[in-house]
Amino acid sequence: MKTIALIAHDGKKADILQFANDNKKALGKCKLIATRTTGKLLKEKVGLKVKCYMSGPLGGDAEIAALVANKKVDAVIFITDPLDAHPHDPDIHGLMRVCNVHNVPLALNIATAQLIVSPKGIFSTKVE
Protein backbone atom coordinates (compact mmCIF):
# COMPACT_ATOMS: atom_id res chain seq x y z
CA MET A 1 0.00 0.00 0.00
CA LYS A 2 1.36 3.42 -0.97
CA THR A 3 1.95 5.97 1.80
CA ILE A 4 1.21 9.62 1.23
CA ALA A 5 1.93 12.50 3.61
CA LEU A 6 -0.58 15.36 3.65
CA ILE A 7 0.37 18.74 5.09
CA ALA A 8 -1.12 22.20 4.65
CA HIS A 9 -0.31 25.59 6.05
CA ASP A 10 -3.15 27.23 7.99
CA GLY A 11 -4.07 29.48 5.07
CA LYS A 12 -4.39 26.41 2.82
CA LYS A 13 -6.41 24.04 5.04
CA ALA A 14 -9.61 24.66 3.04
CA ASP A 15 -7.73 23.85 -0.17
CA ILE A 16 -6.41 20.52 1.07
CA LEU A 17 -9.84 19.59 2.43
CA GLN A 18 -11.42 20.29 -0.95
CA PHE A 19 -8.66 18.30 -2.66
CA ALA A 20 -9.21 15.39 -0.26
CA ASN A 21 -12.98 15.46 -0.80
CA ASP A 22 -12.49 15.51 -4.58
CA ASN A 23 -10.01 12.61 -4.40
CA LYS A 24 -11.41 10.66 -1.46
CA LYS A 25 -11.61 7.37 -3.37
CA ALA A 26 -7.95 7.47 -4.49
CA LEU A 27 -6.71 8.66 -1.10
CA GLY A 28 -8.75 6.00 0.66
CA LYS A 29 -6.65 3.33 -1.06
CA CYS A 30 -3.47 4.73 0.51
CA LYS A 31 -1.94 4.82 3.94
CA LEU A 32 -2.25 8.49 4.93
CA ILE A 33 -0.08 10.37 7.38
CA ALA A 34 -0.24 14.05 8.24
CA THR A 35 0.80 16.76 10.61
CA ARG A 36 -1.58 17.09 13.56
CA THR A 37 -3.99 19.85 12.55
CA THR A 38 -4.20 18.81 8.90
CA GLY A 39 -4.73 15.17 9.87
CA LYS A 40 -7.40 16.00 12.41
CA LEU A 41 -9.32 18.04 9.83
CA LEU A 42 -9.01 15.28 7.21
CA LYS A 43 -10.45 12.79 9.71
CA GLU A 44 -13.29 15.02 10.90
CA LYS A 45 -14.29 16.79 7.69
CA VAL A 46 -13.52 14.19 5.01
CA GLY A 47 -13.73 10.92 6.95
CA LEU A 48 -10.30 9.64 5.94
CA LYS A 49 -8.18 7.37 8.12
CA VAL A 50 -5.02 9.35 8.90
CA LYS A 51 -2.10 8.76 11.26
CA CYS A 52 -1.20 12.12 12.79
CA TYR A 53 2.24 13.33 13.77
CA MET A 54 3.13 16.54 15.62
CA SER A 55 1.98 19.91 14.40
CA GLY A 56 4.36 21.37 11.81
CA PRO A 57 5.70 24.17 14.02
CA LEU A 58 6.30 21.65 16.83
CA GLY A 59 8.35 19.28 14.68
CA GLY A 60 5.82 17.43 12.52
CA ASP A 61 7.50 18.48 9.28
CA ALA A 62 10.78 17.09 10.61
CA GLU A 63 9.08 13.85 11.68
CA ILE A 64 7.69 13.36 8.19
CA ALA A 65 11.08 14.25 6.66
CA ALA A 66 12.62 11.44 8.73
CA LEU A 67 10.03 9.01 7.38
CA VAL A 68 10.81 10.14 3.82
CA ALA A 69 14.55 9.63 4.45
CA ASN A 70 13.82 6.13 5.75
CA LYS A 71 11.81 5.28 2.61
CA LYS A 72 8.50 4.99 4.46
CA VAL A 73 6.69 7.64 2.37
CA ASP A 74 5.91 7.36 -1.34
CA ALA A 75 4.79 10.96 -1.93
CA VAL A 76 4.31 14.22 -0.02
CA ILE A 77 1.54 16.70 -0.64
CA PHE A 78 2.44 19.88 1.23
CA ILE A 79 0.10 22.71 0.26
CA THR A 80 2.16 25.74 1.16
CA ASP A 81 1.11 29.34 1.62
CA PRO A 82 3.85 31.31 -0.12
CA LEU A 83 2.37 34.64 0.98
CA ASP A 84 2.69 33.99 4.71
CA ALA A 85 5.78 33.85 6.92
CA HIS A 86 6.40 30.61 8.82
CA PRO A 87 8.62 30.48 11.91
CA HIS A 88 9.48 26.84 11.19
CA ASP A 89 10.78 27.57 7.67
CA PRO A 90 13.98 25.55 8.26
CA ASP A 91 11.87 22.42 8.88
CA ILE A 92 9.78 23.11 5.76
CA HIS A 93 12.87 23.51 3.61
CA GLY A 94 14.40 20.44 5.25
CA LEU A 95 11.39 18.35 4.24
CA MET A 96 11.59 19.68 0.69
CA ARG A 97 15.31 18.92 0.54
CA VAL A 98 14.86 15.37 1.83
CA CYS A 99 12.15 14.74 -0.79
CA ASN A 100 14.54 15.94 -3.49
CA VAL A 101 17.51 13.96 -2.16
CA HIS A 102 15.45 10.74 -2.02
CA ASN A 103 13.54 11.41 -5.25
CA VAL A 104 10.14 11.37 -3.54
CA PRO A 105 7.34 13.19 -5.40
CA LEU A 106 6.51 16.47 -3.65
CA ALA A 107 3.46 18.58 -4.48
CA LEU A 108 3.46 22.13 -3.14
CA ASN A 109 0.16 23.15 -4.73
CA ILE A 110 -3.16 21.57 -5.64
CA ALA A 111 -2.39 21.33 -9.37
CA THR A 112 0.67 19.16 -8.70
CA ALA A 113 -1.13 17.17 -6.00
CA GLN A 114 -3.82 16.36 -8.54
CA LEU A 115 -1.18 14.96 -10.90
CA ILE A 116 0.12 12.66 -8.15
CA VAL A 117 -3.29 11.09 -7.45
CA SER A 118 -4.55 11.20 -11.05
CA PRO A 119 -5.30 7.95 -12.90
CA LYS A 120 -1.87 8.13 -14.56
CA GLY A 121 -0.06 9.33 -11.43
CA ILE A 122 2.00 7.56 -8.81
CA PHE A 123 -1.03 5.91 -7.24
CA SER A 124 -2.46 4.60 -10.49
CA THR A 125 -0.68 1.27 -10.26
CA LYS A 126 -2.38 -1.68 -8.63
CA VAL A 127 -2.77 -1.05 -4.91
CA GLU A 128 -0.77 -3.56 -2.88
Structural domains in the chain, sorted by start:
3-124 (3.40.50.1380)
Catalytic residue among 15, 61, 74, 81: 61
Is 61 an active-site residue? Answer: yes
Question: For 21-49, what is the mean pLDDT?
Answer: 96
Cα separations (Å) of 30 from 10, 79, 86, 93? 24, 18, 29, 25
3-state secondary structure 45-60: HHCCCEEEECCHHHCH
CA dist 120 and 31 (Å) reads: 19
CA dist 46 and 97 (Å) reads: 30
Predicted model pTM: 0.91
pLDDT tier at 71, thresholds 50, 70, 90: very high
pLDDT tier at 103, thresholds 50, 70, 90: very high
Cα separations (Å) of 109 from 76, 90, 127? 11, 19, 24
pLDDT tier at 85, thresholds 50, 70, 90: low
The closest of 72, 74, 9 to 38, measured between CA atoms, is 9
